[in-house]
Structure 1
């Protein structure tokens, strides 16, 4: 099937969670199995770390714990495993050589935001498009992994967010980045996002590209307790999987060969093609001309996630509240258009 499953959840946090869990119970179980296989930790240690992150999330926003507990109840699983899914990036931070292969871009003049999400092949058949309709009328539309309450998407206030995992080489113990993504999608303005960054930006290693329908946007590189803000120097923002503001990940390190190659190729494409449109972004995120390190990639064997490749391509028109989504790579892969209010 060449489209992602599309579900809608609504109501109060616990009810939304129950709907999420019931509709995706099989997928949640399989997602837990996938992460159990790559965490490389005893289950007791995974759940112990999940307990610590549960406390962090509850102090940040208790309603997120209500939603997570609702997911666990609906899916019939241990709530700590749902916490572990939402903190999967932080739990994986102890693993050496975890692969991170995503390319994100934003066209400021046309308020178009998008990315390729590259990760383990098992997640291609499990991930879903989810619409969250809150009781105040606020709507979130995102591509997410079963059981995870925040990921790549946009909202009815015209905000959108993309994610690139970065590597810092140490354990991460802050608010999980996927919870932070949900908090951004719950915001109504970039000013609210700035407040979040000021109060809860520590303990992560990721880049978040956030933008609005008015053409404003920025990257935030989380680097442990520090964070670095990058704004567009021309008419676009671009990020892959190494730090840009500080020389933390060396180009000479083979672990970052793909990240540097994809950044250089995307920069070349953006300099040669000035079309800042949906078609232009689709073309950029479809480039596979570098056979060794393509932007749009086939699945290949990988030590950390078994098989690594492009799970999906997402292009968001923030002003029009449209999302263009393509599942995987292959002869049947094509874009489908979704409207936030559809």
Structure 2
């Protein structure tokens, strides 16, 4: 998707009304995406979606955790189903992206790269990432905009039909994520999309850390947090949350755990891939040490295409729809005001656009 075509969907009212606005506004996009998703399930797992999805939902129970820890988001998903005119189970299953991957045992290297930079006297806190997903998500990118509990505004980058992938509030909290597929999973934990949105509803990074420590996690995931006062990074999985030590005011992360060793029992490969390691080296080369980190430097780091460790992945037109590409990149600058820069594709080839959310 071209960045200038990225839709911004205003979602107001009750949680169900917000979901309904999301679904109605993006109804055609969601319908097209559901078709691509169902085809991709057959390609990835070797069985049709009509067989895989009922089996997946019957073998897991994430609903109890969702209702306990994020009940408003359960209502939002129901609203998406209503607005998009799709089945409740379809809308629900669409939220379970990371959980689908490990349940289906899809071989994945994982390709999101994230960072958080602590504030300095002349620079605000910065949180940023590339969001790398299968190419069939391309064309479904969107920004959701809704008022938060304090009357400020929250912006969430998403793939149409999902409650969110990453987001920031003008109250001063930004969250980015990257998959840690090597870590322990749970068929009854809180799925990643709900963890991210639940944490984003917190007032600051400290409260979000407490939330991440308190919920049972369904999937391995790294969460980069930043507010006006500082940053925090946690590697989370079914075994709990590990808060990482932040050195030199910056946290750089890709798709292997840096501190957690709570590996899945069925993990036989190393806890890191060569690609993930090389992407981390790329981030460190551009943003590590004593280098001064500016918003432009962050954008350059997210645009890097070093061989074997491409942070920005441009789609090869000849590749299959299940091949990973960068469907978006985002940068939050969290100071007295919050500035959001978003790219609706690989930042190595696509333009950035600044979106300035309102603050009460």
Counterpart CA distance in 1 for 2:284 and 2:71 is 42
The alpha carbon displacement at 1:332 in A equals 6.1
Following superposition of structure 1 onto structure 2, how do residues 173-192 of structure 1 map, counting pairs within 5 Å?
173=187, 174-192=189-207
Contact 2:256 2:271 in 1 (8 A): no
Match of 1:306, SS state, is: coil
Match of 1:204, SS state, is: coil
Contact 1:203 1:225 in 2 (8 A): no
Task: Indicate yes or no: 2:98 matched with 1:89.
Answer: yes
Counterpart CA distance in 1 for 2:92 and 2:108 is 20
Counterpart in the other structure of 1:25: 27
Q: 1:71 aligns with which of 70, 80, 84?
A: 80
Q: 2:355 aligns with which of 329, 334, 338?
A: 338
Q: 1:237 to 1:33 in 2, by over 3 A?
A: same
Q: 1:316 to 1:330 in 2, by over 3 A?
A: closer
Task: Indicate yes or no: 2:59 matched with 1:43.
Answer: no
Counterpart CA distance in 2 for 1:6 and 1:335 is 15
Q: How many positions carry a matched residue from both structures?
A: 340
Counterpart CA distance in 2 for 1:329 and 1:197 is 29
The alpha carbon displacement at 1:300 in A equals 4.4
What 5-or-longer segments of structure 1 have no aligned partner? none
The alpha carbon displacement at 1:330 in A equals 7.7
The alpha carbon displacement at 1:123 in A equals 1.6
Counterpart in the other structure of 1:2: 3
Counterpart CA distance in 2 for 1:188 and 1:48 is 38
Q: Which has the higher strand share?
A: 1
Match of 1:64, SS state, is: helix
Task: Indicate yes or no: 2:160 matched with 1:143.
Answer: no
Q: 1:271 to 1:150 in 2, by over 3 A?
A: closer
Counterpart in the other structure of 1:258: 275
Q: 1:208 aligns with which of 223, 227, 230?
A: 223
Counterpart in the other structure of 1:318: 334
Counterpart in the other structure of 1:299: 315
Counterpart CA distance in 2 for 1:195 and 1:227 is 10
The alpha carbon displacement at 1:177 in A equals 0.7
What 5-or-longer segments of structure 2 have no aligned partner? none
Counterpart CA distance in 2 for 1:28 and 1:301 is 22
Match of 2:232, SS state, is: strand
Match of 2:287, SS state, is: helix
Match of 1:329, SS state, is: coil
Deviation per CA, 1:288-336, whole angstroms, max 9, x where unpaired? Answer: 2x22321122224899962222111211111231111122238861111
Q: 1:337 to 1:187 in 2, by over 3 A?
A: same
Contact 1:8 1:133 in 2 (8 A): no
Contact 1:205 1:224 in 2 (8 A): yes
The alpha carbon displacement at 1:259 in A equals 0.3
Counterpart CA distance in 2 for 1:196 and 1:302 is 43
Counterpart CA distance in 1 for 2:297 and 2:160 is 31
Range 88-97 or range 32-41, more displaced: 32-41
- Output the aligned Cα RMSD: 2.7
Counterpart CA distance in 2 for 1:100 and 1:243 is 12
Range 162-171 or range 152-161, more displaced: 162-171
Contact 2:185 2:220 in 1 (8 A): no
Deviation per CA, 1:78-134, whole angstroms, max 9, x where unpaired? Answer: 111111111121121122412410111111023011111111222221110110125
Counterpart CA distance in 2 for 1:192 and 1:264 is 31
Q: 1:108 aligns with which of 115, 118, 121?
A: 118
Q: Moved runs in structure 1, 4+ residues, more than 3 A?
A: 47-51, 169-172, 246-250, 252-255, 300-305, 329-332
The alpha carbon displacement at 1:239 in A equals 0.3
